[in-house]
Amino acid sequence: MSEYLPGLAGVPATKSNISNIDGEKGILSYRGYPIEELAKNSTFEETCLLLLDGRLPTAAELSDFDEQLRDNRQVKYHIRNLMKTLPESGHPMEMLQTAVACLGMFYPGNECLTGADSCQDLDYIHNMTVKIIARMGTFVAMWEHIRNGYDPILPRHDLPYAENFLYMLNGKEPDPLLARIMDVCLILHAEHTINASTFSVLVNGSTLASPMSVIAAAIAALSGPLHGGANQKVLEMLKEIGTPDRAAAYVDKKLANKEVIWGMGHREYKTKDPRAKILQGLMAEFMADRGGNLNPMFEVAKEVEKVCEDRLAKKGVYANVDFYSGLLYSEMGIPADQFTAIFAIARSAGWLAHWREQLSDNRIFRPTQMYTGEPVRKYVPINKR
């Protein structure tokens, strides 16, 4: 038996072509393309296709895929009615898990995945992938209205993914800078090698469950506070600090108590998270665009970052992607408990790329355990216990 490593830390669970992290140099690449180049030149739609197919699409392929996504934005009224049965106070991630899980009942067909050699019905895989990615944004935006007692805003066919998402959320077309920031946020969150939720895709997908079941399960993993919930926590932390002058005392107290400072540091990077650098640039652009007219949390965030850099940069701990994304989403008028759901919209692309890769060389996950329990013993009748 191999060595037992808690959390399987460092244990290779798969071979993968999809993304790679060079933690020393601070490079994240999707299919070989550094995240900086994708953030600068690509769109979420193109990045999805890159992750799924393994190469940058031609103009015709991209336009075709984009059209498929637009055609699949609408959600059946049955699912709208389902959402209306859910409690308004429920967490958006649990709504999203529920909505994606039920989607599989409307689009069956995973029987085509039976058997090791016939796992590659690429038409089915592609069609289901489009159905899921296209609807993720609609689900999240719908819920924002339904939980507040309003009818959801129908998707528009004439807008790109990020722009349509903000339109469905706010009922008006976003200004171009905010639409671009959202598009970049989706690109940056689309994929990040094998973390708990992507690993969940491999494990659940390896039983040949339906893709909707598999993605709904990954949403469960991402919903956990140790995984996807950090950008929501950042905003809660900034609100708790309240004013810039209280930042230093807050940070020092947390450090003294060895408590988490949300949005700081990342296990995979020894340098600054490359995604954080990109968002920092967009935030500066956004601040310049707005002039002084900014949410007071921005000033608190700047101060927290400055204090943390002073205390932690020498240990290789810097602000990460969650630190900035939460702030930016907040400025777009998005409630903090929706941040992880937006993360899930983006990550559905990476999850589905890993699902497809898993099926291309499938083996069911069945690790083993170190049994540390009682040896075989005799049953004791209830009156003798």
Catalytically annotated residue among 322, 337, 354, 361: 322
Specify the DSSP element, H or E, that contains 136.
helix 122-146
Query: Should residue 124 be labelled a site residue for its own copies when binding is judged by CB under 8 A?
Result: no
Q: Write out the binding residues for its own copies, residues 52-91 only, by CB under 8 A.
A: 54, 56-59, 62, 78-79, 81-82, 85-87, 89-91
Does 195 engage in binding with its own copies (CB under 8 A)?
yes
**Does residue 336 interact with its own copies by CB under 8 A?**
no
Residues sharing a CB contact under 8 Å with residue 156, sequence separation 6 or more, in sequence order? 164, 167, 168
Binding status of residue 149 toward its own copies by CB under 8 A:
no
Task: Kindly tell me which of 222 and 342 has the beta carbon lying closer to its own copies.
Answer: 222
In the numeric block, the tokens 């998270």 are attached to 273
CA-nearest of 10, 156, 195, 149 to 70 is 156
Tell me phi and psi for residue 88, to 5 degrees. -55, -30
145 lines the binding site for its own copies (CB under 8 A):
no
Q: How many CB atoms lie within 10 A of CB 319?
A: 26
Compute how many other C-beta atoms are within 10 angstroms of the C-beta atom of residue 365: 15
User: For the chain, how many residues are written?
Assistant: 385
Residues 276 and 264 sit within 8 Å (Cβ to Cβ): no
Task: Report, in Å, the least distance between residue 364 CB and its own copies.
Answer: 5
For its own copies, the binding residues in 88-107 under the rule CB under 8 A are 89-91, 93-95, 97-98, 101-102, 104-106
Decide: 168 and 150 in contact? Cβ < 8 Å: no
- Helix, coil or strand: residue 6: helix
Q: Minimum Å distance from CB 63 to its own copies?
A: 10
Smaller CB separation from its own copies, 293 or 383: 383
Site for its own copies in 165-184 (CB under 8 A): none
Catalytic site residue 126? no
Distance CA 303, CA 157 (A): 42
Specify whether 266 is catalytic. Answer: yes
What is the nearest approach in angstroms of its own copies to the Cβ of residue 330? 20
Q: Taking CB under 8 A as the rule, does residue 360 contact its own copies?
A: no
| Beta carbons within 8 Å of 172's beta carbon, 6+ residues apart | none
Please choose, out of 158-166, 203-211, 243-251, 285-293, the segment that lies near its own copies by the rule CB under 8 A: 203-211
Sign of the CA dihedral with 55 first, then 59, 65, and 70 last: positive
**According to CB under 8 A, which residues from 228 to 267 bind its own copies?**
228, 267
Closer CB to its own copies, residue 12 or residue 292? 12
Binding to its own copies by CB under 8 A, coded x per residue (else -) over 366-385, reads xxxxxxxxxxxxxxxxxx-x
Instruction: Point out the catalytic residue in the list 189, 266, 273, 354.
Output: 266
Q: Which residues are catalytic?
A: 266, 322
